[in-house]
Amino acid sequence: MTIHLEFHLYGQIKKKGKWFIAHCPPLDVSTQGETFEVARKNLIEASQLFLTSCLERGTLDQALRELGFVPVPNEMQEDSLPEGAFSFPVAIPFVFQKPSECHA
C-alpha cells in the first residue's frame, strides 16, 4: 500500500546575471538554474528533498512551526499567490511494509 502526502507550495524566480534564482518562500528553500525551467525543476526537487529529509529525521513538525506554519480550518484556506509566483505540488510517497510478526 502506498500513501501520498502532498504539499501545495509556491515559488518565485528572478533572473540575476546569467542565472535564474528560484525561491520557495514557504519553506525558505532556494536554488538556481541556467534557464527558467531548470531553476523551476531544481526548486521542486529541492523542496521535495527538504520535506523528505525532515520526515526521515522526525523533524517535520518542528521545521514547519519554525517556518511559521499553523493549522487553519478548511474555510480559511487561501489560494492567492504573490504576483509573478507559480504554484507546484510536492508529493512524498510512503510505502507500508507489513511487519514480519504481530506485536499485539
pLDDT-derived band at 62, boundaries 50, 70, 90 = very high
> What domains does the chain contain, in order, with CATH numbers?
2-95 (3.30.160)
Question: Looking at the chain, which runs of residues are DSSP E strands?
Answer: 2-16, 19-24, 29-33, 86-95
Residue 23 pLDDT exceeds 90:
yes
H-helix or E-strand spanning residue 57 = helix 36-57
Alpha-carbon gap, residue 65 to 73, rounded angstroms: 17
Is the pTM higher than 0.85? The answer reads: no
